[in-house]
């Protein structure tokens, strides 16, 4: 083949699969979620679902034991061509149809008829999707555990480290970095709890053509409900109370838990992005190697992990919305609603898995600059404690006089670039007041320490 001219993109090889390496997705590329949600991983899950069905049939006396062994032995992803399956999937709208044909041939004439017996394509696709979700969520949960542990350490270490509290982008009253980190951790634990509940409830799917299990009865099952239970055991998922071809609670629950997790991690990440700005520099990401570097500006150390987490958090709600939209599934098997779930669900699993990985690294390596936190408390020349002064001086001067005095002194502090404490010291009516204590921001963090302690009691 003649090389393409410089600046002209080379054509993709004929029949090449669309990219699955994550070239445009540094947030999840190389993560456990990437491996758990790849085309190969989904193919493995489809084959696992098919093999589990034949084993369940054999357990219930509906297939020979040799069939279970033969199908399980043949259900190896390396024996199947994912590109070919993808191309042939267009004919029936899903990859199960060509996969069943290929798996039947691989099993052979004797036991081939027991492949996919009684099932419908959606049974296998839904079960495989739940398997992929389970395999992607397990490492994500481990990373959330790492994240909360690192944040617990930060919260404990900085329990009493005062810093400016900001509301509507401006300095408001003092808070502590410990309380901020404890808040991040609380969201991570909320996410962990939601993911755990969803993970533990992921169901198998088995209903046959219209969710009645009729075909299994036709093949000799005395009680098809026990076959569903056997199938769920074989595949390692929960037995569903009903076939859920058009009852998409499992997918909707996954969508909600994943979108929440992305947002919870995004809250911490967006705070880090703000606090690590050059002119603030209260925190900094610690990255290994050349992490955070710029292609054009050698001096830069960008907060890359935080940026990638925030990118995931911004995409997740729209993906979840598609999955929620698929709750509107007509009849006993839907056209389009079910098909619309596959890519958004995989994208969500990838985004959250990658974000959880990056959040663990971010929390474990976050550097807090106590000097910067302390210095910034003084940026408003003491006005950050004006709330406290209003309350305290009202008892000395009266409410109206105290308010008028502080309003005037706040104006003068800004105009004259003088500390509020110096201006207060010149007021004769405050001669007996401990102004040093009242104007010390570190002494006005309220119950931040106690709140941090309470948050850290949660395990």
Return d(Cα 366, Cα 157) in angstroms, integer.
12
Catalytic residue list contains 357: no
At 298 the pLDDT is 56
Q: Per the residue annotation, which of 333, 346, 350, 357 is the catalytic one?
A: 333
Residue pair 225/117 in contact by the 8 Å Cβ criterion: no
At 13 the pLDDT is 38
What mean pLDDT is predicted for residues 210-215? 96
Residue 407: what are its φ and ψ, rounded to 5°? -60, -45
Q: Per the residue annotation, which of 79, 294, 414, 454 is the catalytic one?
A: 294
DSSP alpha helices (H): ranges in 368-434?
370-376, 386-397, 399-416, 420-425
Extract the runs of DSSP E, i.e. beta strands, from 289-369: 367-368
How does pLDDT run across 117-132, given as a tens digit for each residue? Answer: 999 999 999 999 999 9
239 band by pLDDT with thresholds 50, 70 and 90: very high
Question: Model's pTM, two decimal places?
Answer: 0.92
- Euclidean distance between the first and the last CA atom of the chain, given in angstroms as a whole number: 61
How does pLDDT run across 351-363, given as a tens digit for each residue? Answer: 999 999 999 999 9
How does pLDDT run across 12-24, given as a tens digit for each residue? Answer: 333 433 457 888 8
Q: Which residues of 271-300 are buried (b: 16+ CB within 10 A; e: fewer)?
A: bbbebbeeeeebbbbebeeeebeeeeeeee
Query: Does 439 score more than 80 pLDDT?
Result: yes
At 428 the pLDDT is 85
Task: Give the percent of the chain with pLDDT over 90.
Answer: 86
At 134 the pLDDT is 98
At 142 the pLDDT is 98
Residue 162: what are its φ and ψ, rounded to 5°? -75, 150
What mean pLDDT is predicted for residues 311-330? 97
Catalytic residue list contains 18: no
Q: Which residues of 9-25 are buried (b: 16+ CB within 10 A; e: fewer)?
A: eeeeeeeeeeeeebeeb
Query: Does 449 score more than 80 pLDDT?
Result: yes
At 99 the pLDDT is 98
75 band by pLDDT with thresholds 50, 70 and 90: very high
At 300 the pLDDT is 59
Query: Does 380 score more than 90 pLDDT?
Result: yes
Instruction: Using DSSP, state whether 303 is helix, strand or coil.
Output: coil
CA 339 to chain centre: 23
52 band by pLDDT with thresholds 50, 70 and 90: very high
């Amino acid at each position: 083949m003649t090389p393409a001219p410089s600046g002209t993109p080379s054509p993709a090889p004929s029949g090449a699969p669309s990219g699955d390496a994550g070239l445009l997705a540094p947030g999840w590329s190389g993560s456990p979620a990437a491996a758990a949600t790849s085309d190969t991983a989904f193919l493995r899950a489809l084959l696992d679902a098919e093999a589990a069905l034949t084993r369940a049939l054999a357990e219930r006396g509906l297939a020979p034991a040799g069939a279970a062994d033969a199908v399980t032995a043949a259900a190896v992803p390396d024996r199947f061509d994912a590109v070919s399956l993808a191309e042939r999937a267009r004919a029936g709208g899903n990859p199960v149809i060509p996969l069943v044909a290929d798996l039947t041939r691989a099993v052979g004439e004797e036991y081939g008829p027991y492949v996919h017996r009684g099932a419908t394509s959606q049974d296998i696709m839904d079960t495989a999707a739940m398997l992929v979700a389970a395999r992607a969520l397990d490492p994500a949960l481990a990373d959330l555990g790492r994240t909360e542990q690192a944040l617990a350490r930060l919260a404990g270490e900085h329990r009493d480290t005062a810093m400016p509290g900001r509301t509507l982008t401006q300095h408001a009253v003092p808070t502590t970095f410990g309380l901020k980190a404890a808040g991040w951790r609380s969201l991570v634990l909320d996410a962990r709890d939601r993911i755990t509940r969803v993970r533990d409830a992921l169901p198998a799917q088995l209903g046959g053509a219209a969710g009645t299990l009729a075909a299994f009865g036709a093949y000799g099952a005395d009680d098809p409900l026990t076959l569903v239970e056997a199938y769920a055991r074989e595949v390692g998922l929960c037995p569903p109370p009903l076939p859920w071809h058009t009852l998409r609670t499992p997918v909707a629950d996954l969508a909600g838990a994943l979108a929440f997790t992305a947002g919870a991690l995004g809250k911490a990440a967006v705070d880090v992005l703000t606090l690590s700005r050059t002119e603030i520099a209260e925190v900094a990401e610690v990255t290994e190697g050349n992490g955070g570097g710029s292609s054009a500006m050698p001096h830069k150390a960008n907060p890359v992990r935080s940026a990638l987490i925030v990118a995931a958090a911004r995409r997740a709600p729209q993906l979840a919305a598609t999955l929620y939209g698929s709750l509107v599934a007509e009849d006993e098997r839907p056209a389009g609603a079910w098909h619309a779930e596959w890519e958004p669900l995989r994208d969500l699993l990838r985004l959250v898995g990658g974000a959880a990985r990056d959040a663990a690294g971010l929390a474990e390596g976050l550097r807090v600059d106590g000097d910067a936190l302390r210095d910034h408390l003084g940026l408003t020349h003491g006005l950050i404690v004006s709330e406290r002064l209003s309350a305290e001086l009202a008892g000395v001067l009266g409410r109206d006089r105290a308010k008028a005095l502080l309003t005037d002194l706040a104006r003068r502090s800004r105009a004259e670039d003088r500390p509020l404490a110096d201006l207060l010291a010149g007021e004769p009516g405050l001669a007996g007041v401990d102004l040093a204590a009242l104007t010390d921001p570190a002494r006005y963090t309220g119950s931040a320490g106690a709140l941090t302690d309470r948050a850290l009691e949660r395990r």
